Structure 1
Amino acid sequence: MTTTAPKAISPVRIDGRRLRSARTRQIIIEAYLLLLRESPQIPTAAAIATRAGYSIRSVFERFPDLHSLRIAATDHAMLQAADSVAERPPHGDRAARLRIHVEMRGRVCEEWLPLWRALNANQGDSVELKARIHQIRELVIRRMEAMYEPELSTLDAIERRQTILAIEALIDFESWARMREFFGQSFEEACAIWILAIDRLLPPTPAVS
């Protein structure tokens, strides 16, 4: 009696399955983010599954729990925000750099404020979420240092740090939310307020020799 050797599994089929699984994972992340933008309430697994067009089982096949989904959504947002910022190098005179920086920051706040709120509301004792909050703030500071290096270079170490921290607090997500939601400022009006405030915090721009 001859036995038939098992057929080899096609690499193409495996790759296709992995691609579909990755796509499903991405759709679930996007569904979570869409729900956050629509409501301040943290989405449930059932709501996420319904919006994504999958079963709850599919959600938990890709993510062991909602905490893991929040982390994945945060990483997705950070990558997108970093990509959008990287497109605008810090060139130009003081006025141009102020405008570019503030408009970029305003768009990030406009897009990711709901996720930022959810991130802070759910961080609890999560080392992963606390690390990402810290990383986001550090990215904001590094971008700010690059944008305003000519001005910051004229300060000593203490003054430089104080100025950086003052601007970082000024351009926080909730600062943007207060202007847009509570005071009813348009995107352009909110940007103008930030530009004026940052311009006053920065020292004079050194003359180009």
Structure 2
Amino acid sequence: MLTGRTLLPDNKIASLDGRRRRSERSKQAIIDAVVDMINEGELFPTAAQVSQRAGVGLRTVFRHFSDMNTLFTLFNEDRRPHYRAMFEEGGDRTGALENRIVALAEFRAVRWEDVTAVMRFSVAQRRRYKALADNYADYQHGLLEDLKTWLPELSQQEPVILEAVVGVCSFEYWDRLRDLQGLSVEEATGVVILCLRRLLLA
């Protein structure tokens, strides 16, 4: 019975499978190169730098990713579960408000220190690439929802208090304290705790 299909010899199938595996390895190497460069503090990685770091040709980069926006889209998809888990899992979110304020400040201090490089990259590039802008907006929404699990009292606060708390707990504020104002992790954490106490316990 004729099926209309052309059966490939085993050696042809093996060859196609090998090419697919090589293609997937190249694609992952490119994404890994972007991750490594960003974690090392590179704010503006170029396609040429990525290809050199990944050990593939420039044409290979653009064969997998038509432009840098497409590459950053895949970068986001690859890393999003990791970064979400960092903030949404862990930390003691029970007990009195005073205790939760301290726990929240200390928890986010550790997380902000861990993701400083990628957050600086996102802030620097989000107006240039739609993929990063969309991901950054989604990330901010996720952080707000996570903040409410620490501080359910926010639902009873005036909008101006909510916005102030969001600002104090943001990466941008943390990075200002650490970078521009030159505070240590302990000092910056103390500033965040003081601000939250004044906003929520006054």
TM-score (norm 2): 0.77
Q: Could you tell me whether the CA contact under 8 Å between 1:77 and 1:112 is conserved in 2?
A: no
Distance apart, 1:203 and its partner CA = 4.2
Q: Determine the C-alpha separation between the residues in 1 that align with 2:86 and 2:25.
A: 22
Q: Does structure 2 conserve the Cα–Cα contact (< 8 Å) formed by 1:74 and 1:115?
A: no
Work out whether residues 93 and 100 of structure 2, in 8 Å CA contact, stay in contact via their aligned partners in 1. yes
What corresponds to 1:191 in structure 2? 189
| 2:119 counterpart SS class | helix
Residue in 2 that maps onto 1:76: 78
Q: 2:146: which partner in 1?
A: 143
SS of the residue aligned with 1:54?
coil
> In the alignment, residue 62 of structure 1 is paired with which amino acid?
H
**Other structure's SS at 2:117 match:** helix
1:92 maps to 94
Q: Show the counterpart of 2:116.
A: 113
**Per-residue deviation, residues 49-81 of structure 1 (Å, max 9, x unmatched):** 222222222322321111112222233343212
Cα distance change of structure 1 residues 107 and 31 upon mapping to structure 2, 3 Å threshold: farther
CA gap 1:48/1:124 in 2 versus in 1, 3 angstroms: same
Q: Following the alignment from structure 1 to structure 2, what is the Cα–Cα distance between the partners of residues 114 and 191?
A: 19
Q: CA 1:88/1:74 → structure 2, altered by over 3 Å: closer, same or farther?
A: same
Alpha-carbon distance in 1 for matches of 2:196, 2:185: 17
Cα pair 1:32 1:43 within 8 Å, conserved: yes
AA at the equivalent of 1:173: F
State the partner residue of 2:134. Answer: 131
Distance in 2 between residues matched to 1:95 and 1:86, nearest whole Å: 20
Q: Deviations over 1:8-65 (max 9, x none)?
A: 5658x73x76555444333322322332343454011121122222222232232111
For the 8 Å contact 1:36–1:114, the answer to whether it is kept is yes
CA contact (8 A) 1:81 1:108 kept: no
Q: Structure 2: where are the runs of 5+ without partners?
A: 1-6
C-alpha displacement at 1:184, in angstroms?
2.5
Shifted more, 48-57 versus 30-39: the winner is 30-39
- Offset of 1:167 from its aligned partner? 1.3
Query: What residue in structure 2 maps to residue 59 of structure 1?
Result: 61
User: Counterpart of 1:179?
Assistant: 177
- Structure 1 contact 180–190 (Cα < 8 Å) conserved: yes
Change (3 A) 1:101 1:74: farther
- Partners of 2:171 and 2:65 in 1: how far apart? 28
CA contact (8 A) 1:29 1:73 kept: yes
How do residues 26-41 of structure 1 correspond to structure 2 at under 5 angstroms?
26-41=28-43
Asked if the contact 2:43–2:125 (Cα under 8 Å) also holds between the matched residues in 1, the reply is: no
